[in-house]
Structure 1
Amino acid sequence: MRARLADAAGDGAAARDALQLALAHDPESPQLRVVYAEALARAGQGDRAEAEARRAVELAPPGVAATDAHLILGKVLALAGRTEAALRELEAAAQIEAQLVRARREGEDDDAFDPEPWRVLARVRLDAGDDVGAAAACEQLSAFDPAEAAAVLRELAGRLLEAKKTDVAEKLVRRAIDLAPSVPEAWKLLARLQEDRERLVEARVAWERALVADPDDPDALVAAGELALRTGDLAGARAWLGKLLRTAVDEKGARVRVAAAWLDAKQPAEALAAVAGGEGGEGGEGGEGDARLIYLRGVALQQLRRWGDAAAAFAEVKPSSRDLYGSARVGLTYVLARAGRPGEAVRAARRGLEEDPADPALLFALGEAYDRAGQRDAALVQMRAVLAVKVDHAEALNYLGYAYAERGERLDEAQALLERALQVEPENGYYLDSLGWVYFKKGDLERAVKALERAEALVGSEATI
């Protein structure tokens, strides 16, 4: 009991001391050895944890204690990177637990089932690259508890999806759905997998099935709305995102997510409607959530090219909003410059840099403001300042490269800068346009034409290109 209390209080050393004392009184207890091995493993004392786990295996009689002993030994060996030995212990734990379950069920006793041996066995096999073996462990578990097996399959599928093993991930998540079709998480995972593969019709079906399982799931409602926007279904997007606004427990958080979805789809009027009523009053005095909504209002107004209104919104975001304040200052600088107020834009950027002097986005915004104000030399100096804090800032690299090309000076440096920008964003047509202009200035017409044709293919018909 003292060990449990100490562990709950975060005092691992005291917990281990209490367990040592308990073992001094009862050295033949396999259960105490198991608990002590777990405590040692958490403390990073792998060798001692292994010794205690092995002693537990030796002491444990057939039954639950044997399952626990082999299980903890398997976990300790897995942590030590001794995969084959770990798998042997975990397979033994699963085999013992399976025998116990069968015996209990023959006696019509379904209590005290422990899925942990199969859960850990599947994880260790997956870590070892044995996808088939991991799935097999889940199949064994499904014979005793389909819901637990489905949960492990979902976990494994998520990890495989992160590793870009989409084919195997899809098989596992579909099996998880077979075992537990009413669990929305499996359908959500399948939907994301299908979206990654650009199978948008199948993804939509999966999101809809997730929402059948849980009609008010906020993640599924946002995702279904975003997918509708990707496919041009504005009515569908309004339905899904509107339902989120009506049902969300966190109304302001929902408004943030919905507005961001509309902005990503370049639908600023819809974003403004989502923001309305959720700001908690002008000035964002309701807290961080309110500041986010005010900022998003500014972005929506910026997309609508209502420069003055956007500037007023961005200016309401206070320094206490931390990272959001920097983004708002970038937006404020941008819209003021485009509103024909370059002096104010410069001051807005400088004010933001007082809070974070090394913010590359703000440093770049100040450079753009100088450019808009006609202070080209100051703009060039500022863009170099951007690169001093972020060497791969593609926009600053492009600005300098194009500026040198326009001036017809430092053309080799301009080419190098633009090639660096294209390493960061290889498919950026505007950077290719700048590089084509450098080639033209250097008299290399063949490469200039090739770069400009590629730029037009990426950007589309554009007068400057």
Structure 2
Amino acid sequence: MADSSWLWDYRRYNLMTYCRVGFLLILTLALLCLSVSTAYPESDGDQGEAYYHYLQAQMEWKAGNLKGAIDQYKKALDYDPQSAQLMFELASALAQQEHFRDSLYWARKSAQLDDSVSVHLLLGRIYTSMGQIGEAIGEYEQIIKSNPEDQESYLLLGMLYAKNKEYEMAVKTLKRLIEKNDEALMAYYYLGRVYSETRLWTEAEKYYLKTLDINPYFEPALFDLAALYEAERKKDKVISMYERIVSFHPHNTEVLIRLGGYYLSEGRFSDAIKQFEEAKKVSPDDTRVLARIGMVYLAEGKYDEAIKELEKALSAKPDEDRARYYLAAAYAEKGELDRAIEEYKKIPEGAGTYVEARIQLANILRRQKRPDEAIAILQEAISSKSIKSELYIALAYAYEDADRLDQAESVLREGIKKLPEDIELQFQLGVIFDKRGEKEKSIAKMKEVLAANPRHAYALNYLGYTYADMGIKLDEAEKMIKEALQIRPDDAYITDSLGWVYYKKGLYDEAIKELEKANELAGGDPIISEHLGDVYYKKGLFPKALESYLKAESAYTKKEDKDKVSAKIEEVMSLLGENSLSDK
């Protein structure tokens, strides 16, 4: 049977009343007999037999035995083969049984004898169910032509136009309905749906809000408006909508989970916990709720509590891979790296968190100075069906750790071959060129990235920093880095780049301001500490320079980096010694 998602709300709210004749089964038998007597004024002979089987069909239908009703209608038609009413009701019963081809046959025969609105409504329903939307549209257009005041048919026709992606006609039809009835709730709602589907967000919002003006509790409009705000990334409005939905449906687990998730993303941990705890009361065995409580504790740095909740979720549902992913992350943050590795390895290929898990597993191995194992893990993941740019980039990092830059370049080129439109792979290739000392190739690659995406913050920053480090095009470098900061305003490394440009320009006070901010944001990155030491040195602030250089030296891992900053430390200590002697 064809998808009829455009019709679900309408059916749910009982607004469709197809098959009006013969469907009022709550009538008393006396009234039923009276209506049938009208259809068969003379009840002798074949007409009497037809009348008898017709009555039996009605009784079978009322008893819920559609198959029996169909058999009786067919027997009635044996005695009265030209009865449009019998054909119509047989078609209706067959449609109820989802025997649409047979239903269509009898509905068409009925229409040939009695071209009534009821028959066209039934035909419209059958065509819709069979996925023949064009034919269904034709039936409702014919109904409206013969009965322009039939509001229900305008609605159904508008819905069908929308389902058929004839959006302009859908809008036109639904607005005609509103002209006839400015309180037609479903017309406003479906106009919102049409505009949402065509990504005309402002119009969609207007009609959803009008729907909710008419009925503030109308659930589909509430959820669709929340989804619209999600598409527009208007978090405040999304949260407001879900809060409103929760006030109407405080025991809806899905809504509580969604609202809690948004609170979590905004760092409102106590609010998130409150929603998840409410969801837990409603659905105590829902492992998603337990996992999300664990995620809140993880975000708060309460690793033991996070582990406890996540292990509860996994004991109830061992294949809950997202819970296992966060359990591994909790162990990693707690410093129990072997347990983290163990949990990450349990996440199977094909799981939604498989790629993320393999990358995090490789990162832990890199931290433990086990680059060859990290490389093997990532190569295995790439050889699976998981072709993701993140895997190629992570493998390039692992090769870089092992000082195998040629292989890092090769794996990135392999990724680009498979994912030629992926800008991040191109960007990382430019980084590798830079690390090999191929500045011109790096600059050309960053320009290529920016040609594809002029708002790529990291490419803007990288190119600007490269110019600054080379001492060239400093004004252009400053402009690029400031543009990158507009895109990512609190990025420590972009802030460091701006400070470095100021340093290269000799604007040391401005440089100190930006580099101190970057140092605070990054929490002790050795490159930023070294840059800060350099500008303190230029300003003659030797104690501060020494402090920054010592921090950089302790944080650097590569010998050449340590040696470079050690030389600076010796020079500053020498100057401090000279100053001490001169003071004496």
TM-score (norm 2): 0.57
* Cα deviation digits, residues 110-146 of structure 1 (max 9, x gap): xxxxxx899879989984356486276255xxxxxxx
1:32-43 matches, within 5 Å, as 32-33=120-121, 36=124, 39=128, 42-43=133-134
Query: Paired residue for 1:128, among 206, 224, 230?
Result: 206
Matched, 1:137 2:229: no
Taking structure 1 as reference, are residues 315 and 193 closer, same or farther at Cα in structure 2, changes over 3 Å only? closer
1:301-316 matches, within 5 Å, as 301-302=365-366, 306-316=370-380
Aligned to 1:237: 306
Q: SS at the partner of 1:313? A: helix
1:25-424 matches, within 5 Å, as 25-30=113-118, 32-33=120-121, 36=124, 39=128, 42-43=133-134, 49=140, 52-53=143-144, 55=146, 69=153, 72=156, 79-80=170-171, 82-83=174-175, 85-86=177-178, 89=181, 91=183, 127-128=205-206, 131=209, 134=212, 137=215, 139=217, 152=220, 155=223, 158-159=226-227, 162=230, 164-165=236-237, 166-167=239-240, 169-177=242-250, 181=251, 183-195=252-264, 198-248=267-317, 250-252=319-321, 255-256=324-325, 259=328, 271-279=340-348, 293-302=357-366, 306-324=370-388, 326-424=389-487
- C-alpha deviation, 1:334, in angstroms: 0.7
Query: Paired residue for 2:492, among 418, 425, 429?
Result: 429
Q: Which moved more, 1:194-203 or 1:412-421?
A: 194-203
- C-alpha deviation, 1:448, in angstroms: 3.6
Q: Which moved more, 1:248-257 or 1:184-193?
A: 248-257
* Structure 1 contact 34–52 (Cα < 8 Å) conserved: no
Taking structure 1 as reference, are residues 34 and 89 closer, same or farther at Cα in structure 2, changes over 3 Å only? farther
| Structure 1 residue identity aligned to 2:171 | A
Taking structure 1 as reference, are residues 362 and 264 closer, same or farther at Cα in structure 2, changes over 3 Å only? farther
Taking structure 1 as reference, are residues 173 and 396 closer, same or farther at Cα in structure 2, changes over 3 Å only? same
C-alpha RMSD of matched pairs (Å): 4.8
Whole-Å separation in 2 of the counterparts to 1:218 and 1:53? 51
- C-alpha deviation, 1:330, in angstroms: 0.8
| Structure 2 residue identity aligned to 1:321 | K
Matched, 1:455 2:547: no
- C-alpha deviation, 1:359, in angstroms: 2.9
- C-alpha deviation, 1:227, in angstroms: 1.2
| Structure 2 residue identity aligned to 1:238 | I
* Structure 2 contact 465–497 (Cα < 8 Å) conserved: yes
Whole-Å separation in 2 of the counterparts to 1:10 and 1:341? 66
Whole-Å separation in 2 of the counterparts to 1:372 and 1:42? 60
Identity of aligned residues (%): 26
Aligned to 1:101: none
Q: SS at the partner of 1:27? A: coil
Q: SS at the partner of 1:80? A: helix
Whole-Å separation in 1 of the counterparts to 2:257 and 2:509? 50
| Structure 1 residue identity aligned to 2:408 | A
- C-alpha deviation, 1:243, in angstroms: 2.5
| Structure 1 residue identity aligned to 2:249 | A
Q: SS at the partner of 1:318? A: helix
| Structure 2 residue identity aligned to 1:208 | E
| Structure 2 residue identity aligned to 1:323 | I
| Structure 1 residue identity aligned to 2:274 | V
Q: SS at the partner of 2:395? A: helix
- C-alpha deviation, 1:301, in angstroms: 2.9
* Structure 1 contact 291–317 (Cα < 8 Å) conserved: yes
How many equivalent residue pairs? 412
Q: SS at the partner of 2:215? A: helix
Whole-Å separation in 2 of the counterparts to 1:160 and 1:387? 30
Whole-Å separation in 1 of the counterparts to 2:307 and 2:191? 45
| Structure 2 residue identity aligned to 1:201 | S
- C-alpha deviation, 1:213, in angstroms: 2.1
TM-score (norm 1): 0.69
Q: Rg bigger for which structure?
A: 2
Aligned to 1:145: none
* Cα deviation digits, residues 337-389 of structure 1 (max 9, x gap): 12333333233323333333443222233333333334444433433343344
- C-alpha deviation, 1:204, in angstroms: 0.5
Whole-Å separation in 2 of the counterparts to 1:52 and 1:267? 71
Taking structure 1 as reference, are residues 234 and 320 closer, same or farther at Cα in structure 2, changes over 3 Å only? closer
Q: Which moved more, 1:376-385 or 1:310-319?
A: 376-385
- C-alpha deviation, 1:253, in angstroms: 6.1
Taking structure 1 as reference, are residues 120 and 391 closer, same or farther at Cα in structure 2, changes over 3 Å only? closer
Q: SS at the partner of 1:128? A: helix
Whole-Å separation in 2 of the counterparts to 1:254 and 1:197? 20
- C-alpha deviation, 1:269, in angstroms: 5.5
Whole-Å separation in 1 of the counterparts to 2:188 and 2:484? 49
Whole-Å separation in 1 of the counterparts to 2:322 and 2:384? 19
* Structure 2 contact 355–391 (Cα < 8 Å) conserved: no
- C-alpha deviation, 1:454, in angstroms: 4.1
- C-alpha deviation, 1:331, in angstroms: 0.7
Whole-Å separation in 2 of the counterparts to 1:397 and 1:10? 61
